[in-house]
């Protein structure tokens, strides 16, 4: 594995960094304070083609490798993790449609999704369960040329803009094992019975909406069944979540980098007892720990991304990256707050936002407790020589 970015990736990173510096960082505090949706930033991201990062070139996308995709989420999250979430669920679903959709489904939706004319998300979590996807209760049954969908999904990012919204359902609730009875339906907005009922209040992750979606006997054309074959939904979703965990890991790296950057600058400016606090060993130890964990998280993230790009199974590596990087982001945001003292608690500095945003990284795309079981099961599988 080459630990260096290619020249093309470095140029792309610089474009992203300039975009964040010009269009995200100057407005994030104002947008959060006003509870304002980042429409202008979203439009700029669409102009850069970022809604097509996981869409193949033949359908108008950038078709980025996974390492480059991780750069997108890292750099945007250095400015505002929340706005990176607008791209996160969208990119996961685009990747899933590109990998598993029929040719007609790809041609129908991917070009508009790549340009940002359409946006999407993914509806997995339900009020009665999160990480146990096989335990979902949302049902869909065939009725002629349509499916009828009944259920409720929650914590859905991009819910008010998603069209279509991939929804994980049970088409055969009696299937054994359970995952063989699950499918994904691409539900178009505006269908009778489809309602985004409320926005959920959040500690952090401001910017994108997180909503509850009710599907009350929504009729969906049968040609909106992802891949046109029932029973493959769980596998389709899990293949998307592998790259999705790299996305979360990269966002965590961005948060940790922002925390370190702010702490380095503040420690050299703030004085105590006639000296910059950076001269004190207590502060130096914190900076050293933050920087070491940050670089370890970044390498884990790119390692997992590289394995995906090579077509290798990466459930263990993606789980490790997501688990370690998200915990590193939480620790970095807390240490940054301690370095800043009272100013770290103030809304006039960005540290309190990083502190509020970081915990979601330990929950999203499967909690870190789930990641640890994924890692352990993968290690045991490999020790037995199983594929």
211: its two tokens: 């909503």
Residue position matching structure tokens 């069944």: 225
CATH says 133-231 is which class?
mainly beta
CA-nearest of 146, 145, 61 to 109 is 61
Query: What is this structure's pTM?
Result: 0.95
Give the per-residue pLDDT at 245: 96
Helix (H, G, I), strand (E, B) or coil at 173: coil
Please report, for the chain, the start and end positions of each structural domain, with discontinuous segments joined by +. Answer: 7-115, 133-231, 235-383
Assign domain 7-115 to its CATH architecture: Orthogonal Bundle (1.10)
Confidence of residue 92 (pLDDT cuts 50, 70, 90): very high
Residue positions annotated with a catalytic role: 365
Distance CA 351, CA 291 (A): 16
CA-nearest of 38, 52, 68, 56 to 115 is 52
The answer to whether residues 204 and 356 touch, using CB atoms and an 8 Å cutoff, is yes
pLDDT mean across residues, the chain: 95
Residue-wise pLDDT for 305-335, tens only, equals 999 999 999 999 999 999 999 999 999 999 9
Say if domain 235-383 classifies as CATH 1.20.140.10.
yes
Q: Which of 356-360's residues contact partners 24+ apart within 8 Å by CB, and which partners?
A: 356/203, 356/204, 356/205, 357/81, 357/82, 357/204, 357/205, 357/255, 357/333, 358/204, 358/252, 358/255, 358/326, 358/329, 358/330, 358/332, 358/333, 359/203, 359/204, 359/330, 360/81, 360/202, 360/204, 360/205
Question: Could you please report the per-residue DSSP string of 330-342?
Answer: HHHHHHHHHHHGG
Give the per-residue pLDDT at 3: 80
Residue-wise pLDDT for 286-305, tens only, equals 999 999 999 999 999 999 99
Residue-wise pLDDT for 198-232, tens only, equals 999 999 999 999 999 999 999 999 999 999 999 99
CA-nearest of 110, 354, 324, 375 to 256 is 354
Residue ranges with strand state E in 174-322: 182-187, 194-199, 210-221, 271-272, 275-276
Helix (H, G, I), strand (E, B) or coil at 63: coil
């Amino acid at each position: 594995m080459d630990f260096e970015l290619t020249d093309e990736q470095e140029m792309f990173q610089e474009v992203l960094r300039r975009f964040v510096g010009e269009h995200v960082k100057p407005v994030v505090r104002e947008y959060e304070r006003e509870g304002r949706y980042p429409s202008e930033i979203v439009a700029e991201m669409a102009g850069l083609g970022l809604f097509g990062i996981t869409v193949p070139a033949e359908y108008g996308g950038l078709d980025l490798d996974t390492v480059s995709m991780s750069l997108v989420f890292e750099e945007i999250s250095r400015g505002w993790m929340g706005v990176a979430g607008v791209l996160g669920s969208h990119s996961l679903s685009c990747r899933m449609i590109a990998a598993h959709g029929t040719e007609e489904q790809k041609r129908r939706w991917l070009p508009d999704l790549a340009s940002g004319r359409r946006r999407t998300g993914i509806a997995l979590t339900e009020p009665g369960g999160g990480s146990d996807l096989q335990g979902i209760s949302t049902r869909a049954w065939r009725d002629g040329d349509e499916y009828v969908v009944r259920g409720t999904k929650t914590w859905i990012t991009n819910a008010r803009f998603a069209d279509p919204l991939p929804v994980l359902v049970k088409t055969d609730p009696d299937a054994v094992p359970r995952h063989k009875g699950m499918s994904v339906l691409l539900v178009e907005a505006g269908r009778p019975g489809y309602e985004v009922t409320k926005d959920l209040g959040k500690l952090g992750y401001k910017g994108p909406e997180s909503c509850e979606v009710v599907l009350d006997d929504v009729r969906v054309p049968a040609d909106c069944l992802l891949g046109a074959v029932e029973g493959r939904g769980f596998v389709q979703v899990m293949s998307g979540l592998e790259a999705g965990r790299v996305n979360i890991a990269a966002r965590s790296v961005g948060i940790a980098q922002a925390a370190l950057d702010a702490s380095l600058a503040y420690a050299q400016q703030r004085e105590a007892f006639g000296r910059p606090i950076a001269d004190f060993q207590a502060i130096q130890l914190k900076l050293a720990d933050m920087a070491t964990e940050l670089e370890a998280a970044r390498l884990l993230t790119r390692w997992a991304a590289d394995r995906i790009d090579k077509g290798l199974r990466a459930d263990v590596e993606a789980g490790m990256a997501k688990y370690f990087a998200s915990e590193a982001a939480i620790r970095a945001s807390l240490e940054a707050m301690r370095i800043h003292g009272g100013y770290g608690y103030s809304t006039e500095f960005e540290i309190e936002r990083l502190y509020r945003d970081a915990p979601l990284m330990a929950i999203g795309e499967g909690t870190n407790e789930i990641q640890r079981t994924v890692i352990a099961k993968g290690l045991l599988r490999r020790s037995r020589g199983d594929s």
